[in-house]
Amino acid sequence: MSVRLADTPARPRVRTHELDAVVVGAGGAGLYAALELKRNLGPEARIGVISKLYPSRSHTGAAQGGVCAALGTTEEDHWEWHWFDTVKGGDYLVDQDAAEVMCHDAVETIINLEHLGMPFNRTEEGRIDQRRFGGHTRNEGEAPVRRACFAADRTGHAILQTLFQQCIRLDVAFYDEYQVLDLQMPDGPGGPVTGVVALQTSTSEIHSFRAKAVLFATGGFGKIFKVTSNAHTLTGDGVAIAYRRGLPLEDMEFFQFHPTGMYKLGFLLSEAMRGEGGFLVNGEGERFMERYAPTMKDLASRDVVSRSIYQEIAAGRGVGGKDFVHLDVRHLGAQVLNEKLPDMTGFIRTYFGLDPLTDLVPIQPTAHYAMGGIPTDIDGRVLADEVGRLVPGFYAAGECACVSVHGGNRLGTNSLLDILVFGRRAGIAMADEVRRAEAPVPDHAAGVGVAAQRDELLSRADGERPAVIRAELAEVMFSHCGVYRTAARLEECRTAVRALRQRAARLVVQDKGLRYNTDLADALELGFLLDCAEATVESAVARTESRGAHARDDFPDRDDVEWLKHTFAFRDAAGGSPRLAYKPVTITRFPPKPRVY
Amino acid sequence: MEIQLRVRRYDPESDPAPHWEEYRVEAEPSDRVLDLLHQVKWYQDGTLTFRRSCGHGVCGSDAMLINGRNRLACEYLVKDAGTRVTVEPVRGMRVVKDLLVDMDAFWEKYRSVMPFLVNDELPADGLERRQSPEERDRFEDTSKCIMCAACTTACPSFWSNPDYVGPAAIVNAHRFIFDSRDTATEERLQIMADADGVWRCRTIFNCVEACPRGINVTRAIMEVTREVRSSGGG
């Protein structure tokens, strides 16, 4: 089929929508923000949620084990303990004022979520039940504490459903299956942001959404790695769009590898399996975490456990000499597995054909979570630079953002908490801005640019297929920019990413139609992945220390003198290496200490 | 091993009628049917169109009719599907392109059952509402629904009457009717008592077999029906 477009390159046909606020992404952060916008601005407010998927497909729904708050329903706990654990878990790269807000707000936010209908598991007294999770301790490291609130092992699913349902109740407008491809920034990189431009998947038509406030809640970019827990659709769209528009990306070198990915598949087996009493064993049947983390053992923070697994494998103690170890949950018994970990039990049966009651489960670290992203303040306002200038009208929350509350390594259950606390706060702050803002000035050039990008891809007759380049990118990022890094491997990776970017300038899309052109989407998403990979590897090359998830064989120690600072990567418009700037870490309460579990 | 993959394809813009296309794909026994579709789309024919996201059975994007039964493509392994695999779009919904169907009416029906907790009174102590583990267990099963539409599009009553609200929407009504915290039970039961509500169920049990989440869909429908009866809606 030939391309038939009713518009011309100089003046593409663009459908325009005038809204008060636009939320891009329908996961937990986006939906909570939309809810708060409606609650604060009233039923007449025009609040739109744009998502490239149906909202219930968002990856928040894949989160399993829990969301933490120091409720203390089953044992003594205090939000200040949670604050300490978060700072230590992040290897002191956490901005402590932001983490204070998150851990303090956690309690009220979880209660509010219950009021919205969240089906939490309950204690016998009818309160929200809680369980243990990695890195969460009583009294600054004494012992594991029960802080994770949960709905079986589908906590994210329950959160996503609850927020989507309440958005329906409040009549939020949903634009499903629209892929956002650019921001409207008529005055350039400093802002303001006055809307977004999106491609409607069902028609390939260009839509201009104008709004007084825009939130990016577009999720992560785990698909830059070969073995990942992330969905196929987690391609860093929002992160890359901000980067292309001259905005910085913060701490991109910090990417979390979760210890218990299903071997080769990468899907997650929840940390709750260890929280409920499971443990790791090497090829010799030894509980090796006792050697690496004498106090917290299998519930040390994720970066520590993932590195321990790599060291066991490097020492020849993987199972059968291969690149995996075992998760042992046999002793948990049928009741715990069926009632508290039913989905995990199902995954193991479906994909491995194993029975967790009688079999050991093969696992390997899997690329899971971006600590870095679009820098924001504690109300989701996007920062234009390392000195803290704000971009009017622009907000980010959730995995695409970097507040920074996770620093060098995020604690388990803090991601669901992050989307709730900061999605909610961003929604409230946006409502305030919407009340005061003037009518947005449109950025017509953005629509023209998106149309040109679409038309070029649809009209090119030959070139490389996106999948080929994507596979090479994911392979090199996983092997060279993964759990352990060196200068030599990172340099090779940087060179490889540059070469892939050049090849990606000539992609071919085989589907030339305009209706549900998912081949076109594949090509566009590859571009986003390449931008995220560039910022990740370039930031990693520069950081000559080991901190949190960024572990350098050639610089094995944390260097607080030189590197207690956040990386800000700015894209080079001419195609060269990004410019790197740095911002000091905010330390208010906990001076950096050696990190031992 | 080599798999013969037959896909029912249709682009209403250019094809006069649906037709079958056959592909040969190399696969491991542990691969999923979704991997086969990706192999075709990425390396053989970029025009093949379907929805997918998470790839491991939790987002609900890729329900399809595979070897004659509704399943999630990401949850069905080659070792179980065999060397000849047939993939078609789910039944009873308009085909938009290949394996991708029009979901608009499905979401409208979901919205029609008031799928949200209604309770505007907050506990006086400022804490969470109390709910016993037993009270929560009443809707645990139906809270697992991922809206993949496998149940509704396997239902003969839905095929013969597209206005039937369908098993998926009833499951989501059940989720709230049996939640001890909810205060809109009467309204929801009235919706369920509609001529195109629960009465259309003929207890054929296709929905139970189709559900990738293992929800006992027919039991949920029966429980809602019983509530409708006892509230006088029947």
pLDDT score of A478: 97
Looking only at Cα atoms, what is the longest distance across chain A?
67
Answer whether residue B23 shows pLDDT above 90.
yes
Reported as type and span, the H/E element at residue A369 is: strand A361-370
Averaged confidence pLDDT in chain B: 97
Q: Does A358 share its domain with A385?
A: no
Q: Which residues pair with A281 in a beta bridge?
A: A326
Bridge-based pairing state of the strands A579-584 and A249-250 = unpaired
CATH of the domain at A343: 3.90.700.10
Q: CA of A117 to nearest chain B CA: how many angstroms apart? A: 5
Residue that is last in its domain, among A367, A386, A420: A367
The per-residue pLDDT for range B125-160, each reduced to its tens digit, is: 999 999 999 999 999 999 999 999 999 999 999 999
Let me know: does A595 contact A84? Beta carbons within 8 Å.
no
Our answer to whether residue A460 is catalytic in this structure is no
The per-residue pLDDT for range A421-476, each reduced to its tens digit, is: 999 999 999 999 999 999 999 999 999 999 999 999 999 999 999 999 999 999 99
Answer whether residue B183 shows pLDDT above 90.
yes
Query: Nearest by CB to A53, which of B47, B53, B55?
Result: B53
- Between positions 497 and 516 of A, the ones with CB within 8 A of B are 509-511, 513, 515-516
The closest alpha carbon to A251, from A239, A259, A261, A241, belongs to A239
A395 touches chain B (CB under 8 A): no
Residue A407, domain extent: 12-62+157-254+371-597
A115 located within any domain? no
CB–CB of A128 and B128 under 8 A?
yes
Residue that is last in its domain, among A367, A382, A416: A367
Q: CA of A556 to nearest chain B CA: how many angstroms apart? A: 35
The per-residue pLDDT for range B88-100, each reduced to its tens digit, is: 999 999 999 999 9
A482 located within any domain? yes
Average pLDDT over residues B161-190: 97
- Domains of chain B from N-terminus onward: 2-101 (3.10.20.30), 104-230 (1.10.1060.10)
pLDDT score of A7: 55
CB–CB of A511 and B96 under 8 A?
no
- Structurally, chain A folds into a number of domains equal to 2
Q: CA of B174 to nearest chain A CA: how many angstroms apart? A: 14
Question: Which chain A positions have a beta carbon within 8 Å of B187's beta carbon?
Answer: none
CB–CB of B56 and A265 under 8 A?
yes
pLDDT score of A10: 58
CB–CB of A117 and B75 under 8 A?
no
Average pLDDT over residues A253-280: 96
Q: Does A205 share its domain with A347?
A: no
The closest alpha carbon to A165, from A299, A28, A264, belongs to A28
Residue B57: closest C-alpha in chain A: A347
Answer whether residue A164 shows pLDDT above 60.
yes
Per-residue confidence band for B233, with pLDDT thresholds at 50, 70 and 90: low
CB–CB of A165 and B118 under 8 A?
no
A509 located within any domain? yes
B183 touches chain A (CB under 8 A): no
CB–CB of B130 and A126 under 8 A?
yes
Q: Does A302 share its domain with A407?
A: no
A581 located within any domain? yes
B117 touches chain A (CB under 8 A): yes
Q: Which two tokens stand for residue A200?
A: 């409607």
Q: Which residues of A271-307 are buried (b: 16+ CB within 10 A; e: fewer)?
A: bbbbbbebbbbbbeeeebbeebbeebbbbbbbbbbbb
Residue A123: closest C-alpha in chain B: B133
CB–CB of A154 and B58 under 8 A?
yes
Rg (CA), chain A: 23
User: How big is the A-B interface in CB pairs under 8 Å?
Assistant: 155
CATH of the domain at A521: 3.50.50.60
The per-residue pLDDT for range A178-205, each reduced to its tens digit, is: 999 999 999 998 889 999 999 999 999 9
Amino acid at A393: G
The per-residue pLDDT for range A519-544, each reduced to its tens digit, is: 999 999 999 999 999 999 999 999 99
Q: Does A409 share its domain with A554?
A: yes
Q: Which two tokens stand for residue B12?
A: 């209403």
Average pLDDT over residues A510-521: 96
The per-residue pLDDT for range B41-74, each reduced to its tens digit, is: 999 999 999 999 999 999 999 999 999 999 999 9
pLDDT score of A205: 97
What is the C-alpha to C-alpha distance for residues A298 and A9, in angstroms, rounded to an integer? 58
Q: Does A327 share its domain with A446?
A: no
- DSSP symbols for A152-210: TT-HHHHHHHHHHHHHHHTT-EEEETEEEEEEE-TT-TT----EEEEEETTT--EEEEE
Percent of chain A exceeding pLDDT 70 equals: 98
Query: Nearest by CB to B136, which of A119, A157, A162?
Result: A119
Amino acid at B34: L
The owner of tokens 């991601």 is: A415
Q: Which residues pair with B7 in a beta bridge?
A: B21, B87
Average pLDDT over residues A258-267: 96
pLDDT score of A1: 37
Average pLDDT over residues A324-331: 98
B138 touches chain A (CB under 8 A): no
Average pLDDT over residues A268-296: 96
Q: Does A441 share its domain with A558?
A: yes
Q: Does A308 share its domain with A385?
A: no
A294 located within any domain? yes
pLDDT score of A9: 57
Query: Nearest by CB to A515, which of B42, B97, B126?
Result: B97
Q: CA of B195 to nearest chain A CA: how many angstroms apart? A: 24
Higher per-residue pLDDT: B123 or A8: B123
A454 located within any domain? yes
Helix axes A518-542 and A466-480, enclosed angle (nearest 10): 20
Per-residue confidence band for A8, with pLDDT thresholds at 50, 70 and 90: low
pLDDT score of A190: 87
Question: Which chain A positions have a beta carbon within 8 Å of B37's beta carbon?
Answer: none
Q: Does A452 share its domain with A361?
A: no
Let me know: does A559 contact A542? Beta carbons within 8 Å.
no
- Return all residues near A459 (Cβ < 8 A) that are at least 6 apart: A3
Percent of chain A exceeding pLDDT 90 equals: 96
What is the C-alpha to C-alpha distance for residues A266 and B74, in angstroms, rounded to an integer? 14
Residue that is last in its domain, among A367, A402, A429: A367
Answer whether residue B234 shows pLDDT above 60.
no
Q: Does A220 share its domain with A280?
A: no
A232 touches chain B (CB under 8 A): yes
Averaged confidence pLDDT in chain A: 96
Q: Does A434 share its domain with A556?
A: yes
- Return all residues near B126 (Cβ < 8 A) that are at least 6 apart: A111
Q: Does A339 share its domain with A381?
A: no
Residue B121: closest C-alpha in chain A: A115
- Return all residues near B2 (Cβ < 8 A) that are at least 6 apart: B24, B25, B26, B27, B83
Question: Which chain B positions have a beta carbon within 8 Å of A116's beta carbon?
Answer: 117
pLDDT score of B232: 79
Q: Which residues pair with A180 in a beta bridge?
A: A198
A489 located within any domain? yes
A77 located within any domain? no
Residue of B14, B59, B99, B108 to mutate when probing chain A, most A C-beta within 10 A:
B59
Q: Does A529 share its domain with A483?
A: yes
The closest alpha carbon to A348, from B56, B104, B144, B215, belongs to B56
pLDDT score of B144: 97
Average pLDDT over residues A106-128: 98
pLDDT score of A11: 67
Angle value at C-alpha A486, between A484 and A489, nearest 5 degrees: 100
- Between positions 184 and 213 of B, the ones with CB within 8 A of A are none
Question: Which chain A positions have a beta carbon within 8 Å of B143's beta carbon?
Answer: 119, 151, 158, 161
pLDDT score of A4: 46
CB–CB of B14 and A1 under 8 A?
yes
Question: Which chain B positions have a beta carbon within 8 Å of A346's beta carbon?
Answer: 57, 214
